[in-house]
Structure 1
Amino acid sequence: MANSRANDSGSGSGGSDGSSSSAETGSGIGRRRLLAATGGIAAAGALAACGSNTGRGGGGSGPAISQWYHQYGEPGTERAVQRYAAAYRKAQVRVQWRPGDYDRQTAAALLTDSGPDVFEVNGPLLEQIQGGQVVDLTAEVEPVKDDFHQAALAPKIWQDKIWGIPQVVDMQMLYYRKSLLKDAGVQPPRTLDELVDAAKKLTDRRTKGLFLGNDGGVGVLSATPLHAAGLSLIDDDGKVGFDDPAAARTFGKIRQLYADKSLLLGAPTDWSDPAAFVQGLTAMQWSGLWALPGIKKALGDDFGVLPFPKDGSGGKPAVPVGAYGSAVSAHSRRKEEAKAFAKWLWVDRSDFQQDFALSYGFHIPARLSLAKKAKELQQGVAADAVRFATEYGHAEPLLWTSADRTAYQDALSRIIKDGANPESELKSVVRKVNAELRRVRKKSGA
């Protein structure tokens, strides 16, 4: 809220990526963090008691349950979630705001019965599911399952059961400066080849054609170019989705952007912050929906947005999405009460869901019906963004592990920055991912 309120595997404002904490950009530590660094982290038992309880008890007179959130950067978010908890009457909900390394804290706490009852989870849930750390929420979600953004929901489904409830959707897209493209006689790029050509034509002594992050796109692109080529990390059959010559051709074109010196590198802030785009350091920038209000305030109507351009005859536009999810700990002593609260907040209370998405930043409600009704998302580039996310959205798959991610990103770095052969690099990653898939299936008894 890719990967979102994504950090620089989607990054947060005022966070470790060094991006602006301005409320104007709508950027938040955790929501952008999701889109760029998803996945579980191994438990560290000593961290189980980390963090402090800064929440207040709910307004109910029933049993006490705890709810954990990572630390959001958007002003007002903490007060909002405390307000939601206070409105619940069937239990006393105590909100804990968890600064620091939230993923490590929760990984450690979930091994005990003294951790949270309800908690946020970042990205795919495979490690928690296979570890018996979360409970089945299918019954809570099933009546409205089809109303959730399906790409955001998919990483929370395992063996036809739903293990987490998406809270809000974040997405990434391509921003372009209309006036700069017009002056250079360049049309908004609709294909990857056009993007490569446009970035080169738009590059001069003052302005670079494209900004994909200070690492040339290694951290943020992830599976997006694969989806643009009609491929994926893991396909629908649970097999490697990029064991195809088209993947190497596509990443060869990303390398060309770097080789042409069309990419902005070494910007004061990274891809999640729109400062480079607003200041005219780049004519096009890959960033998140959260950046839109700040760009609109600075540039008025002098910008447009696009999905990542398609590549090849079998490709289609691509948009990465991510969603923090609400889950219930299998070690909770109040499982039924915790499940009831999670359903109340993230299924029943559509008013709170819309408030959470749009009052403390700029994000898409996880429910399609709410996204359609939100006035802030009904016109102009915001409406375009919602349509892109709905039509072209993809999320990191459930079976994509941290080991896969490391091998894949290392290969991308060598391809993009060092000019390594894309075909041989990707073949090596395919072998590693196949080994991981065998390990995961063996662990689950599949």
Structure 2
Amino acid sequence: MSAMSSNNWDRRSVLRAAAGLAALGPLAACGGNTGRANGSGEVLTQYFHAYGEAGTQEAIKRYAKAYKEANVSTQWITGTNFESKLFSALLTKNAPDVFEFHPQLQLIKSGQVAPLDDIINPVKDDFNPADIKSHTVDGKIYGVRMIDDPQFFFYRKSMLEKAGVDVPQTLEELAEAAEKLTTDKVKGLFLGNNMVSTNYALVWAAGADQLNAKNEIAYHTDEVAAALKVYRKMFTSGHLLLDAPADYWDPSALVQGLTAIQWCGMWAMPVMQKALGDDLGIFPFPSAASGAKPAVYNGGWSMFVNAKGKKVDEAKEYVKWLWIDQKKYQEDWALSYGFHVPPRISIAESATKLKSGLPAEGVKLFSDYGRFDNINWTQAMITALEGVIADAVRKGVDPEKALDTADKKVNRELKKLFG
């Protein structure tokens, strides 16, 4: 969802696993709910990042309270460092039994997360195959997908019309549009405060990928370097919104008229539509190299079971109950607090809210251009690619040099994982 965590590893992203973070101090204040003692008196703890959409925390606690086999306590982790708090907590005796995150290989290699084939296999064919693939290692499935979060550009139609700007079809056209749309009161484009939320889309739209099929670096190409130069040009031009009160995941920059075009997720569409009505349009990240397709980054969140916890079987039962059996809750979670594409095919097919107008356009962009997380692309690699934006775009380091620096870090990580 609108990760309140600015990550988008999506989101995946700005978060750093800060070594030595005192996990337990801050977590006590993160809004746990004890609820009532249910059936067995068993206690389970689940971790969620603080979603930006109103009603989400209450919904998660409501679902948990309806579970009769255990007393499920929710830790709602606020702030922008969910991932570092989670990783730190997993090393302690207060580790959660279940937690939301994104599929990443190091969690599997370290034995941190339990395979969930036994609960997923009976309904496997009802999940988007790309979601199953992005959670599968050596034939085993880790994690149950809860929501898919397509991300693309939202824009104010009236502002583009007034400036005589067409919807950009290439990255160069996006840069030109940002220039024409910038006035003394409005910036042309918002890519997020640190500009890393579009990292994957930029690589894909340049015809590249993070890794190839052999798990070798695939992002370091001439086309990606050229795209980074366009980003640098935009950064220095004064046409980008760089200090928005809230980051890209929040719709306020576009809604409040601070920018004409904003990168954001489909989760924010209902709030934007309510504020802007028919003045709202969307388009994918445009092609950044000759012959390359536009890109839509599909973020999203999945539920994992802590394999090192003391209650693995009970935790799996709870995950099965909520994220496999309770379709009404899964639908509520995907569609009542912002728009997300349900990963369950049967729920997506009956999701009337996504069937017409702008939501239907979003779903079409997702199906035409959507790309999913690569489970082999880990947190250290995410951080390395973010460093490329910091160096090449914000500091003006030569893109080749910035990519070389990232290569060293990514190759070190690949060696660790694959030998």
TM-score by length of 1: 0.83
Distance 2:389 2:43 in 1: 44
Q: Which residue of 2 aligns with 1:170?
A: 149
Q: Percent identity?
A: 37
Aligned Cα RMSD in Å?
A: 2.7
Amino acid at match of 1:305: I
* Preserved CA contact (<8 Å) 2:103 2:142: no
Per the alignment, in what secondary structure is the counterpart of residue 197 of structure 2? helix
With over 3 angstroms needed to count, the CA separation of the structure-2 counterparts of 1:93 and 1:155, relative to structure 1, is farther
398, 406, 409: which is aligned to 1:429? Answer: 406
| TM superposition shift of 1:225 | 0.4
* Structure 1 counterpart SS, 2:268: helix
Contact between 1:124 and 1:156, CA under 8 Å: does it hold in 2?
Answer: yes
Paired position in structure 2 for 1:115: 95
Residue of structure 1 in register with 2:5 after alignment: 7
- CA distance in 2: counterparts of 1:133 and 1:281, whole angstroms: 43
1:223 aligns with 2:200: yes
Taking a change above 3 Å as real, the CA distance of residues 407 and 335 of structure 1, as seen in their structure-2 partners, is: closer
Correspondent of 1:93 among 62, 66, 71 = 71
In structure 2, do the counterparts of structure 1 residues 376 and 351 end up closer, same or farther at CA, with 3 Å as the change threshold? same
Per the alignment, do residues 131 and 201 of structure 1 end up closer, same or farther by CA in structure 2, a change over 3 Å counting?
Answer: same
Matched, 1:290 2:290: no
Of 235, 248, 263 in structure 1, the residue corresponding to residue 212 of structure 2 is 235
Measured at CA, do residues 175 and 313 of structure 1 come closer, stay the same or move farther in structure 2, by a change above 3 Å?
same
Partner of 2:379 in structure 1?
Answer: 402
Q: For 1:284 and 1:114, locate their aligned partners in 2 and report how far apart those are by CA, in whole Å.
A: 43
Q: Which residue of 2 aligns with 1:157?
A: 136
1:180 counterpart = 2:170: no
Instruction: Give 1:214 deviation, angstroms.
Output: 3.0
Q: Residue 39 of structure 1 contacts residue 124 of structure 1 at CA under 8 Å; is this kept in 2? A: no
Q: Which amino acid aligns with 1:426?
A: L
Give the secondary structure class of the aligned counterpart of 2:278.
coil
Q: Deviations over 1:219-264 (max 9, x none)?
A: 2222110111221112233111213212112222222222433212
Structure 1 residue 386 corresponds to structure 2 residue 363: yes
* 1:128 matches 2:104: no
The answer (yes or no) to whether the contact 1:7–1:34 under 8 Å persists in 2 is no
Q: Corresponding residue for 1:41?
A: 17
- The answer as to whether partners of 1:189 and 1:195 remain within 8 angstroms in 2 is yes
Q: CA separation of 1:254/1:102 partners in 2, compared to 1, >3 Å: closer, same or farther?
A: closer
Aligned residues between the structures: 413
Bigger drift between 103-112 and 310-319 goes to 103-112
State the Cα distance separating 1:333 from its structure 2 match: 3.4
**Secondary structure class of the residue paired with 1:323:** strand
Structure 2 CA distance for aligned equivalents of residues 113 and 205 of structure 1? 54
Q: Distance in 1 between matches of 2:93 and 2:60?
A: 23
Structure 1 unaligned blocks of 5 or more: 11-32
Q: Do the aligned partners of 1:113 and 1:331 also contact (CA within 8 Å) in 2? A: no
Given the alignment of the two structures, is residue 354 of structure 1 paired with residue 352 of structure 2, yes or no?
no
